[in-house]
Structure 1
Amino acid sequence: MKRFPTTVPGLDEILHGGLFEGGVYILEGPPGAGKTTLANQIAFSLAARGGKALYVTMLAESHSRMLQHMLGQSFCKPELVNSSVLYLSGYRELEEQGLKAVVQLLRSEMARHQVSLLIVDGLVADIGQSRPEEGVRQFVHELQSLASAMAVTCLLLTSGRGRPLDAEQTMVDGIFAFEDYTYQWRSERRIQVRKFRGSAVERGKHTFCITSDGLRFFPRLEALPHGAPAVDVGTAPVGLGVPDVDAALQHGGLEPGSGTLLVGRSGSGKTLLALAFLAGATRGKPALMVSGTETALELVRAGGLCGLRVDAALETGALCIYEQGAEDEALDEMGHKLLRLVDEHRVTRLVVDGMAALADTVAFSERGYRFVGRLLRELKLRGVTSLFTLDPAALAAATGSRDPSGDGLAAWFDNVLHLARSDEAPDSRRLSVAKLRATRMSRNTFDLTLGASGLTAT
C-alpha cells in the first residue's frame, strides 16, 4: 500500500512512514488537544507539495473564525485557502437531512475538486435517528468505501465524548487518541496510536507540543528502533581536562564515546571540572554544554577564574552553550532536542550540567532510568563522549525521592566520579573514582586545587 506522509515532525516516525493512501483515521480527544491544528497542518503541507485537501466542518463554527486562529501558525498560507485547501460546511445537510446527505455532499465535492485528503471535523451522531450509533456506523462505512475507491486519505475529528463510537472504531484504519495530561501543577500533551492497520507503529504514549510552527511529536526515546553506529569513535582517548588525572588513566583519558556521571553537591566544583573537560574541544571537534542553571555569561566568568577561556571557545565555534529554559518541557522533548543539537553542531564532547532538569519532568519517575540509558546509547552511536553532572539534593527535590543517591542512574554510565569539598582549604576538592569501564586507573582519589592557572591535581 502507498504511504501518505504527514510531514509533521515526529509523527511519521511514530507511524513508521506515515498514514496510508485511502485510509480512514479517527483523531479523538478533548477540545483544545490539538486535533484541528494537526489536521490543518497536514492539509497545508499537502497543498505546499501540490496536492489538494477538503476540510469539512460538521458544527456551527465558521471557517473564518477557525482560519483566524490558524493564521498565527507558520504553515498556514492564505494564498492556498480555497485553491488548494478548500473549506466546506456540512452543518446544514446534517441538521436538515442527516448523515446520508453529508455523504452525498462529500462524494460530490471530492470528485469535483479531485482532492487527495478529506478532513471531517466534528464527527457526531445523527440525532434524528432512533439508533444514532447505527447512523454513524453507516456513515463511516460509506466514507471508507469512498476513500478507498477515490484513493483519498480521510481524517475524522471527534471529541470522543458523548455517545460511544465503538461500532465505527472497529471499521476504521486507525485511531489516534489525544490527551492533555495534568500532574499536580504541570501538564503535557500526549498521543497514543490505539489502532493502525497495515504496519507496526511505535506503541505506547508519546508527547507532543503545539508551537507557532504547528505540532511537533516526540517519539518515546527508549521505544525507538536500535540503529547502527553513525560514526567510528576511534581509539584516541578523550582527556578529562586535568593533566594529572588524565595521566593516571590507562590510555591518558576517557574511552571515546563513553558516558561519565560526575556526582557532587552544590558548590563542589562540578561545573568547573565540566568546563575543563570542554576545554579540549576544537573547531573541528566541537563541544556542546547544556546548562540547567547558569547562563553563558556566568559560565564565561566562572571559567575565567580558573584560566579557562570559555569566551574564546565560543567565539571560534569550538563550544556552543545551550541554556535549558524554565519552560515546562516533557522528558522526550528535552531528549530529542538534545540529540538534535548534537547532530546540528556535529558535537564530539557533551556536558549536561544538571541532571535535575531531566528529572523535573512528569514521566521521569516512571521511566527515567530507561530514558537515560537510551539517551547515552544514542550519544555513543554518534561518537559523543559525554559528561553529566548530578547534585543528589537537586535530584531528590526534582523527583521527590527519599533516596537521593542516584545509584540507579549511575548504573547506566560507563564512568562515575564523585567530587566533594575539602575541609583543608576552601579552594581544594577531593575527586574520587567510583567506577570505570573499558579502562584502568593507577589511583582512585585526587586532591584538586582551583586556581587562576586552571585545575591541578595531586
Structure 2
Amino acid sequence: MKRFPTTVPGLDEILHGGLFEGGVYILEGPPGAGKTTLANQIAFSLAVRGGKALYVTMLAESHSRMLQHMLGQSFCQPELVNASVLYLSGYRELEEHGLKAVVPLLRGEMARHQASLLIVDGLVVEREDERPGEGVRQFVHELQSLGSAMGCTCLLLTSGHGRPLNAEQTMVDGILTFEDYSYHWRSERRIQVRKFRGSAVERGKHTFCITDDGLRFFPRLEGLPPTPARRGGGTSSVSLGVAGFDAALQDGGLARGSSTLLVGDSGSGKTVLSLAFLSAASREEPALIFAGTETAAELVRAGEGCGLPLAAALETGALSVHVQGSEDEALDEMGHKLLRLVDERQASRLVVDGLAALADTVAFPERGYRFVGRLLRELKGRGVTSVFTLDPSALAAATGSAAPDGNGLAAWFDNVLHLARHDGAPDGRRLTIGKLRAARATRSSFDLRLGACGPTTD
C-alpha cells in the first residue's frame, strides 16, 4: 500500500512512514488538544506539494474564524486557501438530515476538486432517532468506499461532545488519541496510536508541542530503533582538561565516545571543570554545552576567571552554547532537541550541565532510568564524548528521591567522578574517581585547584 506522508515533524516517525493513501483515520481528543491545527498543517503541506485538500466542518463555527487563528502559524499560506485547501460546511446537511445527507455532498466535492485529502472536523452524533453508532458506521463505510475509489485519505476529527464516536466499533484504519495530561501544576500534550492497520507503529504515548510552526511530535526515545553508529575521528582518548588527571589515566584521557557523570554539590566546581573539558574544542572537533541557567556570556566570564579561552572558541564556531528550555518542555522534547543539536553541529564533545533539568519533567519518575540509558547509547553511537553534571540535592528536589544518583542512573555512565569541598585540599576541593570503564588510573583521588591557569591537580 502507498503511504501518505504527513510531513509533520516526528509524526511520520511514530507512524513508521505516515498514513496510508485512501485510509480513514480518527483523530480524537478534548478541545484545544491540537487536532484542528494538525489537520490544517497536513492540508497545507499537501497543497505545497501540489495536492488538494478538502476541509469540511460539521460545526457552526465559521471558516473565517478558524483561519484567523491559523494565520498565526507559519505553515498557513493565504494564497492556497480556496485554491488548494478548500473549506466547506456540512453543518446544514447534518442538522437537517443527519450524516447520510453529508455523504452526497462529500462525494460531489471530492470528485469536483480531485482532492487527495478529506478532513471532516467536528464529527459527533447528536440525533436521538438514530441507533447508537449506526449512522457513524454507515458514514465511515461510505467514506472508505469513496477514499479507496478516489485515492483520498480521510481524517475524522472528534472531541467527544454530544454522543461520542464509538471508535472501536467503526471500520476505520487508524485511531489517534490526543490528551492534555496534567500532573500537579504541570501539563504536557500526548498522543497515542490506539489502532493502525497495515503497519507497525511506535507504541505507547508520545509527547508533542504546538509552536508557531504547527505541531511537532517527539517519539519516546527508548522506543525508537537505534541510530547506526558512526566512527569518531581523532585520537582514542579525550582530555578532561586537567593535566594531572589526564596523566593519571592509562591512555592519557577519557575514552573517546565515553560518558562521564560528574557528581557534586552546588559550588563544588562542576561547571568550571566542564568548561575545562570544552576548552579543547576545535573546528575539526566541535563542542556543545547544554547549559542549565547560564548564558553564553556568563559561561565565558566563568571560564576566563580560570584561564579558559572560551570566547575565541565561540567566535570560531568550535563551541556552541544552548540554554536549556522552559519548564514546560517534555522529557522527549529535550532529548530529541539535544540529539538534533549534536547532529547539526557535528559535536564531538558534549556537556549537559545539570542532569536535574531532564529529571524535572513529568515523565522522568517513570521513564528516566531507561531514557538516560538510551540517550547515552545514542551519543556513544555518534562518537560523542559526553560529560553530565549532577547536583544530588537538585536531582532529589526534581524527582522526589533521596538517592544521590537518581535511583541508579550512575550505572549507565562509563565513568563517575565525585567533586567535593575538602578542608585538606589546598583550594578546598577534591576530585575522586568513583568508576572508570575501559580505562585504568594510577590514582583515584586528586586535590583540585581552580585557579587563573585553569583547573590543576596535585
What CA deviation, in whole Å up to 9, does each residue of 1:68-119 have, x standing for no partner? 0000000000000000000000000111121111000000000000000000
Instruction: Report the TM-score, using the length of structure 1 for normalisation.
Output: 0.98
Answer yes or no: is the 8 Å Cα contact 1:257–1:383 preserved in 2: yes
What CA deviation, in whole Å up to 9, does each residue of 1:226-278 have, x standing for no partner? 23203345652101100111011110111110100000000000001000000
**Which residue does 2:37 correspond to in 1?**
37
* Residue 101, structure 1, aligned to residue 101, structure 2: yes
Deviation at 1:328, TM superposition (A): 1.0
Aligned mates of 1:356, 1:195 — CA distance in 2: 35
* Residue 291, structure 1, aligned to residue 294, structure 2: no
Aligned mates of 1:125, 1:162 — CA distance in 2: 7
Structure 1 residues 169 and 34: alpha-carbon distance in aligned structure 2, compared to 1, 3 A threshold: farther
Deviation at 1:58, TM superposition (A): 0.3
**Which residue does 1:315 correspond to in 2?**
315
* Residue 349, structure 1, aligned to residue 349, structure 2: yes
* Residue 280, structure 1, aligned to residue 280, structure 2: yes
Answer yes or no: is the 8 Å Cα contact 2:249–2:441 preserved in 1: yes
Q: Please give the residue correspondences for 1:42-53 in structure 2 after superposition, counting only pairs within 5 Å.
A: 42-53=42-53
**Which residue does 1:256 correspond to in 2?**
256
**Which residue does 1:56 correspond to in 2?**
56
Structure 1 residues 105 and 128: alpha-carbon distance in aligned structure 2, compared to 1, 3 A threshold: farther
Aligned mates of 1:328, 1:444 — CA distance in 2: 40
What CA deviation, in whole Å up to 9, does each residue of 1:379-421 have, x standing for no partner? 1111100000000000001111132343511000000000001
Q: Secondary structure at the match of 2:144?
A: helix
One-letter amino acid matched to 2:112: R
Farther off after superposition, 358-367 or 293-302: 293-302
**Which residue does 1:122 correspond to in 2?**
122
What CA deviation, in whole Å up to 9, does each residue of 1:172-226 have, x standing for no partner? 0000000000111110000000000000000000000000000000000000012
Answer yes or no: is the 8 Å Cα contact 1:140–1:168 preserved in 2: no
One-letter amino acid matched to 1:391: D
Aligned mates of 1:284, 1:232 — CA distance in 2: 11
Instruction: Report the TM-score, using the length of structure 2 for normalisation.
Output: 0.98
Aligned mates of 1:133, 1:450 — CA distance in 2: 72
Aligned mates of 1:351, 1:125 — CA distance in 2: 54
Aligned length: 458
Show structure 1 runs of 5+ residues with no match: none
One-letter amino acid matched to 2:73: Q
Answer yes or no: is the 8 Å Cα contact 2:418–2:433 preserved in 1: yes
Farther off after superposition, 114-123 or 158-167: 158-167
**Which residue does 1:77 correspond to in 2?**
77
Aligned mates of 2:426, 2:157 — CA distance in 1: 63
Answer yes or no: is the 8 Å Cα contact 1:251–1:439 preserved in 2: yes
Aligned mates of 1:167, 1:5 — CA distance in 2: 23
Q: Secondary structure at the match of 1:420?
A: strand
Q: Please give the residue correspondences for 1:200-279 in structure 2 after superposition, counting only pairs within 5 Å.
A: 200-232=200-232, 236-279=236-279
* Residue 440, structure 1, aligned to residue 448, structure 2: no
Aligned mates of 1:348, 1:130 — CA distance in 2: 64
Aligned mates of 2:377, 2:285 — CA distance in 1: 20
Aligned mates of 1:160, 1:94 — CA distance in 2: 16
Deviation at 1:162, TM superposition (A): 3.9
Answer yes or no: is the 8 Å Cα contact 1:136–1:168 preserved in 2: no
Farther off after superposition, 139-148 or 207-216: 139-148
What CA deviation, in whole Å up to 9, does each residue of 1:319-368 have, x standing for no partner? 11111133410000000000010011010000000001000000000000
One-letter amino acid matched to 1:176: L
- The CA RMSD over aligned residues, in Å, is 1.3
Deviation at 1:301, TM superposition (A): 1.1
Aligned mates of 1:169, 1:134 — CA distance in 2: 10
Aligned mates of 1:234, 1:308 — CA distance in 2: 22
What CA deviation, in whole Å up to 9, does each residue of 1:128-166 have, x standing for no partner? 534142111111111111111111000000013442433
**Which residue does 1:411 correspond to in 2?**
411
Answer yes or no: is the 8 Å Cα contact 2:232–2:384 preserved in 1: no
Aligned mates of 2:113, 2:293 — CA distance in 1: 55
Answer yes or no: is the 8 Å Cα contact 1:290–1:322 preserved in 2: yes
**Which residue does 2:399 correspond to in 1?**
399
**Which residue does 1:181 correspond to in 2?**
181
Aligned mates of 2:266, 2:126 — CA distance in 1: 63
Q: Please give the residue correspondences for 1:157-168 in structure 2 after superposition, counting only pairs within 5 Å.
A: 157-166=157-166
Deviation at 1:167, TM superposition (A): 5.9
